[in-house]
Structure formats: structure tokens, C-alpha cells
Amino acid sequence: MSIVGKNIPHDSAPGHVSGESVYIDDIAPSRNELLVDYFGSPFAHGRVKSLDLSDALKVPGVVALYTYKDLHHNVFGPITQDEILLVEDVAEFIGQPIVVIAAESRAAIKAAKQAIKLDMEELKPILSVDDAIAAGQYLDKTYKIERGNVAAAFSTADHIIEGRFVIAGADHFYLESQACLVHPGEYNQLTVHSSTQNPSEVQHVVAHLLGLQLNQVVCLIKRMGGGFGGKECQATHPAVMASLVALKTKRPARIVYSKDDDMKYTGKRHPYQNDYKVAFDSEGMITALEANLYADGGAYNDLSTAVLGRSLTHIDNAYYLPNLLAVGKICKTNFPPNTAFRGFGGPQGAITIENIMEEIAAYLGKDAYEIRRKNCYGVNDRNVTHYGQLLVNNTLPQIFDELSQSCDYAERLAAVKKFNAESKTHLKGLSFTGLKFGISFTNKFLNQANALVNIYLDGTIQVSTGATEMGQGVNTNIKMLVADEFAIAHEHVIVMTTSTEKNNNTSATAASSATDLNGSAAVNACKKIKERLNAVAANYFAGREVGIGAYSDSIVYRDGFVFDERRPQVKLTFPELVNLAYRERVSLGERGHYITPAIGFDWSVGKGSPFLYFTNGASCSEVLIDRFTGELKVERVDILMDIGKSINPGLNRGQITGAFIQGMGWMTTEDLRYAASGALLSYSPTTYKIPNIYDTPPVFNVDTIDNDCTVNVKGSKAVGEPPLLLAFSVFFAVKNALSYVSGKEIPTLVTPASGEEILSRLTEYKLKAAGLPFKYWPSETSSVLPRAQSRATGRSMKNRLLSGANGNVSGNGNGSAKSKEEQELAAEAAI
């Protein structure tokens, strides 16, 4: 019986539940170890006039202070090398490191920070997408994907809606903050224990900035206490600082960010401001889309180029767009560089089209599911993406049909309408959103992995890959894949600490593809060993059983035994075979390498097939809103996904529920609030509210379809990121609820749909219905701003009133035609 497909507990679970799992800050301090922290810029934008460290150096317990002058290089970046680690002249965000502090105690670090004398001139910061556009500040060139003839389609369109969709950022809120411990070795070699998703990048950046050869730096990562993309690039900063101290002082050095500092000074999910113009017919079929995506990149590029690329390739989500022009820019602002976060720009693209679906439905007075189903990618036609990739084995229509049935969409829609017509105290909303997420790194060269498999003489195995464990269970998957190859108990396989010493030039554990890539590499390594073992076994069985020749091809591994399938009664145990092979001087270790086949993309034309396959799904959410307070309850969620054949269904379910709830937090309660200076105000769980146990929907149906036709390892599909996008159904259920009270307007809603945002919209529509003006909150100049300063206020939006032909069918009793004056007043109030 194959182990693949079984529910094996996470390989670290027993350690997790007993507190025995070790994270960076749990490693026992070694003699002489130094604590490392840093002193950063107080301004979002400022120029250093003078820096005096003399007093700080005198603080008892302070061992060393370093500035950019102590680095060999100071500029780095994964895509474009534009990031300054330690401020030289101009600081670009609050908290950008200026001085690295090495000390014997926390008290000394604190005293040193107070004793550093920094004179800095404050420069005008850019703190919004609008300001960046006005200043022409971008971090990269403009990217574009185009198909068909957009201009022609608009000129003949039945209907056109224009709008702006504002998407807030979010904090990763991994529980374990950024952390690194460095042990100096001989000849300037460094052993770097980093909480990173990308040990090779830590190795590269440490070596580069400290002027070391790559082979002098070993980066190790046993596990992270969560990553979610936040440790793909930004683990490098603390790693370099600790490495600098270790290299210079020859003492072990450890840096662990406090949660507050981590939230304040590391990058987040990219906020976006997306302007769109969509053409569609009276049935709701989209004929053209024009979208201008503005990503808020923060101060440096980091991974923004790739994030934006994924937004552009996911602007279609589950829907066929015959004519399209999608243009993307990355705005440079004075915030910490925004970075990878589960979904990697895909969500910010996909949510835009989901918003459009909801708006077309409201405009036409039709049901949004009907609009979505109509526009859904087809199986045999309408099945080529806007960048030219053919959808092979497209399961989207099946998923839409099956989920809409199993979640009783039609009945519940009728019940919601009835409820909203009757209840004076609450509003309900229902929404069904789709999901198509491309799997592979969009940078082709990253789609490779290597794995090292060592078999020991008792038949047990150690596997090492470049994959990093952050809770998602990649190590458990790889353990199962390797155990499966040799048909041995999974307990006999251990996946070792990830180390650049064992696996070189690895890609980040990212893009949901760690199991795909590293698991495949491990399987390839096993296959190479098996070829050799098979020869040994074949000879052995041929020698013992007169009548059969030595045929490697007929060697079978099953339930811990090895035999020739022609003589299954004569068996070797796996350890016996391993010992035979050892005595025959056969190598029992191997490296496997894997490359994702047949992918590629050319940005110069915006065309290609960048993805090996797509992970698909859909979800339906029902919400309840308090009309007086804006309080939101997610009452029921149904999810259906195509994730191929699961290697471990239990782990996959955890990825689906976890990603969904994380996405729901982004869409509802997680609200990044900034001061006018650019300082983050919601920098701890006191004010930044990720979902709590009671926020998990009371009815939460999660299921998968059967799909045996996936090209990936063991027929599995990646699942780490995609389900996060399913949480859009929660947001659009709120928007749907608002459509019952928004009068003649298409309701506007920006993320997150917090109680305050919802109440502001309820108030807006209540006032407008009474012919009164409404000014978006905060209505007065305030020192506290939401990140998305340019709220969707109606500016640059056209055709936001419901289609006259269909009127308002949402049954709110507010459908009577308003006078022209009233309409003008309403439009004015919206500005």
C-alpha cells in the first residue's frame, strides 16, 4: 500500500505540541554570544546631516556599532539591485537601518539607541500611490499584457463601467518574527541560522555585502514559525546584520526582531490601486477589459516586479477576457519595501475582475453567480488565457456547477433577498467567487530544485532539499514521497535541516511549488538509487532462483520488501538489500535534480505559457451585517477545489482552511493604519486584528473534486497560496449586501471591509437616499490615515448608476426614479 494519499501527521507535530521544536530564538546561547539590534531612521524620508556614535560606544555592555562604512557592499536586491541596507545619505522609510548595534545585554542595546546622536533633515515623503504617480516615481518600467482589439470592443459595447478598486496591504503576522543566529568559523566562514524561506538568498546577500565568497557562508533553516512570503527576501536584512557582527567580532551573534519592530519595519502585501474600464453586453458577457494596475512597491523593488507580473497574469482569474489591455506600474513610496505575501500579486489582480463581476451584476440587476458562470473559462473553447496559455483539462466549469449545487446557491439567494426585504436590523449578502491560480515561478530559471538522498545501512534514509519548512508540511510531503519510492515506513525517512551546504543554488520556498520542485527532485534522486539497487536485487534473485534471469525492470518494492515480480515469494527486506548493495560497493547516496518542463514567458510581448498547470476552485460565502454598527459575521462558507490527487489530504485541508481564513482577515478585520508621517500605528496584535477562533465560520464546508489528470508529482497540485483568493467571496458578499441598500448606485467598497468601512457605506447610502450629502470618513483632516489614502471616492468613475433598462431589482423599495437634481446631488456627494 502506498503511503502517498494518506493522512500522516506533520513530521514536527509531536515536537510542536510538547514545546520541543526548536526555532532560532530557542537555540541555547553559546558562550560569548552577542545580541544584535539596529537603530533606524525616524523619518520616512530624510537626509543624514550628522551621526555621532561616540557616546553610544561608551555605554557599558556595548561591544560594537557598525554603519554602512563597515560593509563591503551596501546595495542588493533579488530582481533589481536598488536596495540600500544601511542608510548612507538618504533614508527611504521609517526604521531603515542606520547603525547596527552589538551588545552584551538588552539593556545595553536600549541605552545605546538612546545615546546615538543622529541629526537628520526631514524630506517630503511620498506616502500614497497618487502622490507617487504625480511625482512620476516608479520602481521599474511599465509592464503590459494585451489581447484582441480593446478599442474596437469598447466602441461597439452595449455597456461600459469604469471604476477604481482600492486594495489594502496586510501584515504577514507570522508568529515568529524575523530572526538570525550566526556562528563565526575559521577563515571568515560563517554558519548562519536564519528564519528564512530562501537560504540561498541569505547566503548570497550575506556573502555579497560582507565581501565573502559564497562557499564561505552556510545558511541553515530547521523550521520557521510561519513565513507566508515575508521571509522570502526580508530575512536577509537581519541575517546580514548578525553576520556583520559575527564576522567583525568573531563572536556568535543573534538578532531577533520584536513583533512590534517586525510589523513596523518590514514589508507587507502590496497595496494596489486599480483603475478599470469594462465593456459587456446586456447578458453580462464581458467583451473587453482595460485595467491599469498601480502597485505600491514601497521604497525599493524587492520582489515587486515579479509580484506585479503575477497580478497581470491573474487579472483574468477564472474568466475569459476576449479583448484585454492590462498595464501595470510599481509606485515608489516611502514605506518599507513591500514583498512577497501568499498569492504574490495574484490576489490583487484576481480580485479586480471579481469586483467587476459583482458590479456588472449590480448594474444589470442580475445575479452575480450567473454573470460569473457565463464568463467562466470553457473546456473546449474560450480556454486560452490573455497571455496565450491553453487551459489543459480545465476543471473550472465543473467546479462552478458542482459547488453552486452543493451549497444550495439558488435557494439561499432567494432567502437572502427575503431576509433583506424584511429585516430592519440586519442585512445579508451572498457571493460566489472563482479561482484559477497558475503554478510555477514566472521566472523560468527558478523552476529547478535539487535533493540529496542518503540511505544508511539499517535501511533508514535522510533527505535534504532546498525546501524550507514553515508549517505547510513540505517536509512531510517529501518524506512521504521518498518512503513511497522505496515502499518503506515513513518513520524510516527523516527530512533534514535545510542547508546550503547540502543543497546549493536553491530557489525560495515560494510560489506554492516547494513540494512540486523539491519533491520531484527527491523522487528523481530515489529513482537513480533504485536503478542501482534494482541491479543488485536482480542479480541476487537470479542467483537464488534458477530459471529467471537478472532483470532490473521486474524488481518491485512493496510494504518494506523487495522482490522480483516473477518470483514474489522470494523477498529481501529493504535493509537487507541495502546491505547487499553496500557489500557490492554500490553508492547509496544520490542527488536528484528537477526542472519544470515546457514553461516560459516573454514579457517583451506579454505572451507565453508560464505555468505548468493551474490550481482551481470556487467558494461561496454568506455574511450577516448589523445595519447600525456595521459589524460583520461570516455565517457560512462553502469551498470546492481542484488540487489534483493529494499527497497528504490532511495537510492540504490545513492549507485550504488556513489560507482562506488568512485571506478573510485581509478582506475584513486587518486594517493597517498609518500616521501622517508614514509611521505604522497598528503594529501589534492589540491594534492589528488577525482572525480569532470565533471568526472561523460556524458552517465551513471544504471539499475537493477528483482529478486524476495532473502532470505534477504523483498527480498532486500545489495548494499553499491559491485558497487565499477564495476569501474574496466574503468581501463580495459584503458588497452584495450593500447592493440592497445602495439605491441606484453600484455599491462601492474598499478593502478591508471592516466594521467602520461597512458602516460608512451604510451611512453613505442612507444619507443619499434621504437626499443628503456624504463625505467619506474620516471627513476631517486626521492624523490617522488608512493606508489606502486614495479611497474609492467616485473620482474617475463613470457609469456607476444602475442600468436604466433594468432598474433596481434588488427589492429594497428604493427603486423609484430620482429627479435629475437628486442624481446630480448624489453624484456630487460622492466626490
Partner 1 sequence: MRDYILLYVNGLEQRISAAQAFQPASDYLRLDLGHCGTKVVCAEGDCGACSVMVGRLAAAGDHAELQHVPINSCIQYLYQLDCTHLITVEGLKVDGQLNPVQQSMVDSNGAQCGYCTPGFVVAMCGLANDLQSEQNQEKCEGKPCHPSEKQVKDSLTGNLCRCTGYEAIINAGMAVDLGRFKTFSELYPDKEMVANFKAHAQNELMLKAGGRTAYNPTSVQSACKFLSEQEKVVIVSGGTDVSVNMNKRDLAPANVMSTAALPGLTELKVIESNDRNERKILSVGAKVTLRQLEHSMKDLVPEFHNILWVYGSPQIRHAGTLAGNIANGSPIADSTPFLFLMEAEIEVTGCSGTRKIPMAEFYKGYKQLSLHKDELITRILLPLPQANELVKLYKISRRQHLDISAFTAAIRITLKGNIIEKAFVVFGGVGPVVMRCPEVEAALTGKAHELATYEAAGKIAKETIAPITDVRGSRDFRLTLAENIMTKFYYETASSERELACR
Gap between the Cα atoms of 74 and 84, Å rounded = 6
Q: Determine, following the binding rule CB under 8 A, whether residue 223 of this chain makes contact with partner 1.
A: yes
Q: Determine, following the binding rule CB under 8 A, whether residue 130 of this chain makes contact with partner 1.
A: no
Q: Determine, following the binding rule CB under 8 A, whether residue 259 of this chain makes contact with partner 1.
A: yes
From the list 365, 236, 311, the residue with the least C-alpha distance to 801 is 365
The β-bridge partners of 702 are: 639
- Indicate the DSSP class of residue 793: -
Phi/psi at 600 (5° precision): 170, 155
Gap between the Cα atoms of 333 and 378, Å rounded = 40
Which cell is 29 given?
Answer: 546561547
Instruction: Kindly name the residue from 201, 721, 745, 757 that is annotated as catalytic.
Output: 721
Query: Contact at 8 Å (CB) between 747 and 735?
Result: yes
Query: Contact at 8 Å (CB) between 330 and 292?
Result: no
Gap between the Cα atoms of 420 and 737, Å rounded = 8
The β-bridge partners of 675 are: 784
Phi/psi at 564 (5° precision): -90, 125
Task: Provide, rounded to whole angstroms, the least separation between the CB of residue 562 and partner 1.
Answer: 31
Gap between the Cα atoms of 597 and 615, Å rounded = 17
Task: Provide, rounded to whole angstroms, the least separation between the CB of residue 517 and partner 1.
Answer: 20
Q: Determine, following the binding rule CB under 8 A, whether residue 6 of this chain makes contact with partner 1.
A: no
By three-state DSSP, how is residue 784 classified?
strand
Which cell is 56 given?
Answer: 553610544
Options 43, 165, 174, 320; binder of partner 1; rule CB under 8 A: 174
Options 134, 151, 175, 699; binder of partner 1; rule CB under 8 A: 175
Task: Provide, rounded to whole angstroms, the least separation between the CB of residue 92 and partner 1.
Answer: 24
Q: Determine, following the binding rule CB under 8 A, whether residue 701 of this chain makes contact with partner 1.
A: no
For the segment 560-599, give every residue that binds partner 1 (CB under 8 A): none
> Considering only 329-337, 377-385, 518-526, 693-701, which stretch makes contact with partner 1 by CB under 8 A?
693-701
Size of the site for partner 1 (CB under 8 A): 91
What single string gives the DSSP state of each residue in 376-432?
A: B--SSSS-B-TTS-B-TT--HHHHHHHHHHHTTHHHHHHHHHHHHHH-SSEEEEEEE
Q: Determine, following the binding rule CB under 8 A, whether residue 104 of this chain makes contact with partner 1.
A: no
> Considering only 18-26, 63-71, 353-361, 453-461, which stretch makes contact with partner 1 by CB under 8 A?
18-26
Residue 209, CA distances (Å) to 67, 243, 407 in order: 12, 10, 55
Q: 206 or 726: whose CB is closer to partner 1?
A: 726
Q: 532 or 766: whose CB is closer to partner 1?
A: 766
For the segment 263-322, give every residue that binds partner 1 (CB under 8 A): none
Q: 65 or 637: whose CB is closer to partner 1?
A: 637
Gap between the Cα atoms of 730 and 358, Å rounded = 12
Residue 385, CA distances (Å) to 217, 284, 624 in order: 43, 19, 36
Task: Provide, rounded to whole angstroms, the least separation between the CB of residue 716 and partner 1.
Answer: 17
Task: Provide, rounded to whole angstroms, the least separation between the CB of residue 315 and partner 1.
Answer: 27
Task: Provide, rounded to whole angstroms, the least separation between the CB of residue 657 and partner 1.
Answer: 4
Query: Contact at 8 Å (CB) between 30 and 252?
Result: yes
Query: Contact at 8 Å (CB) between 387 and 771?
Result: no
Q: Determine, following the binding rule CB under 8 A, whether residue 477 of this chain makes contact with partner 1.
A: no
Q: Determine, following the binding rule CB under 8 A, whether residue 390 of this chain makes contact with partner 1.
A: no
Q: 756 or 822: whose CB is closer to partner 1?
A: 756
Q: Determine, following the binding rule CB under 8 A, whether residue 42 of this chain makes contact with partner 1.
A: no
Q: Determine, following the binding rule CB under 8 A, whether residue 76 of this chain makes contact with partner 1.
A: no
- Indicate the DSSP class of residue 716: B
Task: Provide, rounded to whole angstroms, the least separation between the CB of residue 607 and partner 1.
Answer: 37
Judge whether 721 counts as a catalytic residue: yes
Q: 113 or 382: whose CB is closer to partner 1?
A: 113
For the segment 752-781, give every residue that binds partner 1 (CB under 8 A): 754-756, 759-760, 763, 777-780
Q: Determine, following the binding rule CB under 8 A, whether residue 17 of this chain makes contact with partner 1.
A: yes
From the list 323, 331, 5, the residue with the least C-alpha distance to 140 is 331
Q: Burial, 203: exposed, middle or buried (Cβ in 10 Å; 0-12, 13-18, 19+)?
A: buried
> Considering only 3-11, 247-255, 360-368, 796-804, which stretch makes contact with partner 1 by CB under 8 A?
3-11
Options 67, 177, 375, 465; binder of partner 1; rule CB under 8 A: 177
Q: 210 or 478: whose CB is closer to partner 1?
A: 478
Q: What positions carry a catalytic annotation? A: 721
